[in-house]
Amino acid sequence: MAYRDTLEFLLHDWLRLGDLLQRPRFEDHSRETVTAVLDTCERIARDKYAPFNRLVDTEEPRFDGERVILPQATHEAWKAYAESGMLSASQDADIGGLQLPYLVESAANTFFAKASVSIGAGMLTTGNANLLMAHGNPAQQQVFAMAEFAGRWAGTMCLSEPQAGSSLSDITTRAVPDDGGDGAAGRACAWDTDPLGPRYRLRGNKMWISAGEHELTENIVHLVLAKIPGPDGALVPGTRGISLFVVPKRMVDATGRLTGERNDVALAGLNHKCGWRGTTNTLLNFGEGRFRPRSGVGGGLDGQGAGAVGWLVGRPGEGLRCMFHMMNEARIGVGLAATMLGFAGYEAALDYALQRPQGRPVGAAGKDPSRPQVRIVEHADVKRMLLAQKAYCEGALALELYCARLVDEQRTGEGATAKEASLLLEVLTPIAKSWPSEWCLEANSLAIQVHGGYGYTRDFPVEQYWRDNRLNMIHEGTHGIQALDLLGRKVVMDGGAGLALLGSRVEATALRAQADTQLAGFAQALATAWDQVAAATHQAWDGASPEEALANATPYLQAFGHAVIAWIWLDVALACRGEAPPTPAAQGRLSAMRYFFAYELPRLDAWLGVVARREAVCREMREDAF
């Protein structure tokens, strides 16, 4: 089935995009304008991304001591993406945005992720600018966000440090008010009346920063988490002490003009990655003294200070809260990237299986060597691997688009529905990030398997998809951290309100499916699975310490994710049941749903078993016994 058809089915037949387009915010859009956006993105992805996916893998970014060098193809891909308007796809029309639903923005971005996730599109830049539109002051929005939406500047998110990845409360980057010079000889300078916001000097090291250095754009806008020391000079422990700063690579004045000075953000080194090599990954030193930008934007001081200049975004101590604005979008983006890598592998595997002759059918006929070989797609085991990929990738795509639809509901829905959408997103975001990261990676592994030995070579694309995809379980909160977030926070918050609401959605689907004779058995299986999840949630916490309850958070995440995907698949199946006789596309979806219920859902027993009985073997394992 062509990918575009799958996408159109999910958008229009399943998620009823047409209803969303009736809302006042989207009144300038119609099915035709959406089709035009999808056509444009599909074309750019086909022409400017897909042909260069291998090139950017083999020609890794290089630092010549001054500049980071990327292939010309990456420059051209960025230019085409920026010119498409996608960087401000969901922003207001009066600031130059396309004012599209987030659902359409997400759907359109899938083409780029499938063509070359490695080159990357604008996820970080758009997320960075969107955060500034939500939490920045008007000057920050005008200067930084607008330049990002136009594609003149690019964005990053700088959270991690060499010693602080999962545990952001332990970051040590410091931000002190920039009152001129380095506090000793400098003339006093009003740091808190700067037109761009309260001005600080930052010092510290940020590790793993994606797109942290390049020449694709004339400037790079770093959003940096740092701590403002208390009066005693000590950093406030925990996340409460974390604030957010906008720190450009090149200094700007209050009107957004480049002043010609370099800010003190220096590339300490490029990381050499397993995959996703088209995008730089950097260790950045803030305020190491390599550059000495002057204080006082717009006619301030002559004296040159120490530290990277950054302007506070939002209020002090609220950095992580503001950053979450970017991280939630980023997590849906990561889930979609993982999904599309899975899809790319699935398409390659299907193509290969339809052509590769190998072996003969099982049974008497197959024993006759004079008979021609069959194509491997005819073997049941190869069909199993292809169906698994289809079930993982289409299921994951449906989940991500469902979540994107919830983002639109949250933004444009009526009071109660908007609130419900927010609550559902809270519970579903860890799954949206982690489920495709694990299972579409497994799809890539199966795609290699379908290719046999050829899959293990660099002459075929599937090994690169696996390497590119391997990142997704690590960044944006590791798998383990997502699991702790789900079981430790999301399903128990507000007395379990989010879990109950999701349960009611699952139940509604099961009830509809119950009325359909062909789907009733699946409805029953889904209801049982969801009851198991709810019971295990209760048993995990029942009188237990967090240490006991959370020791099996990852199997819980896996079970929860599988139950969610079973629900999504059954709901998708309901949307296929209108047609009699079913089209091949509908038959394919129904088979993928059946596969998921037959081969995947039974895994819940093992995962939830250890959760419910609070299996202690991992927690109790002695270090010296390993």
Ligand X SMILES: Cc1cc2nc3c(=O)[nH]c(=O)nc-3n(C[C@H](O)[C@H](O)[C@H](O)COP(=O)(O)OP(=O)(O)OC[C@H]3O[C@@H](n4cnc5c(N)ncnc54)[C@H](O)[C@@H]3O)c2cc1C
243/281 with CB nearer ligand X? 281
DSSP 235: P
Residue type, position 552, single letter: N
Indicate the residue among 50 and 481 with the shorter CB distance to ligand X: 481
Binding site for ligand X (CB under 6 A): 157-160, 165-166, 208-210, 273, 276, 281, 471, 474-476, 478, 480-481, 484
Residues contacting 8, CB < 8 A, separation 6+: 38
Q: Would you call 420 a catalytic residue per the annotation?
A: no
Burial class (CB within 10 angstroms; exposed 0-12, middle 13-18, buried 19+) of 626 = exposed
The CB-of-469 to ligand X minimum distance in angstroms stands at 12
Give the Cα separation of 623 and 626 in Å (integer). Answer: 6
Report in angstroms how near the CB of residue 119 gets to ligand X at its nearest.
14
For residues 562 and 600, the answer to whether their CB atoms sit within 8 Å is yes
How far apart are CB 104 and ligand X at their closest, in Å? 25
Torsion of CA 133, 286, 118, 383, to 10 degrees: -90
- 85 DSSP 8-state letter: T
b (16+ CB within 10 A) / e for 298-328: eebbebebbbbbbbbbbebbbbbebbebbbb
CB of 271 to ligand X, least distance (A): 7
Residue with smaller CB distance to ligand X, 474 or 544: 474
For residue 511, what are the CA distances in angstroms to 173, 368, 504? Answer: 53, 51, 10
Residue 273 or 356 with smaller CB distance to ligand X: 273
**Residue 366 CB, nearest approach to ligand X (Å):** 46
Among 148, 409, 463, 476, the active-site one is 476
CB contact at 8 A, 345 and 447: yes
Q: Which is nearer to ligand X, 276 or 291 (CB)?
A: 276
Give the type of residue at 69. I
Q: Which is nearer to ligand X, 281 or 444 (CB)?
A: 281
Minimal distance, residue 331 CB to ligand X, in Å: 11
Burial class (CB in 10 A: 0-12, 13-18, 19+), 468: buried
- By beta-carbon proximity to ligand X, the closer residue of 189 and 220 is 220
Report residue 24 as tokens. Answer: 């006042």
Give the amino acid at 610: V
Given a contact cutoff of 8 angstroms between Cβ atoms, the answer to whether 153 and 147 are in contact is yes
Nearest approach in angstroms of CB 267 to ligand X is 14
Structure tokens at 380: 């049941």
CA nearest 309: which of 131, 147, 176, 142? 176
Contact 182, 131 (CB under 8 A): no
Q: How many CB atoms lie within 10 A of CB 143?
A: 26
Name the residue number minimizing CB distance to ligand X.
165
Shortest spacing between CB 479 and ligand X, in angstroms? 6
Q: 317 to each of 202, 227, 247, how far by Cα in Å?
A: 15, 8, 17
Of the pair 178, 476, the CB lying nearest ligand X is at 476
| Active site members | 476
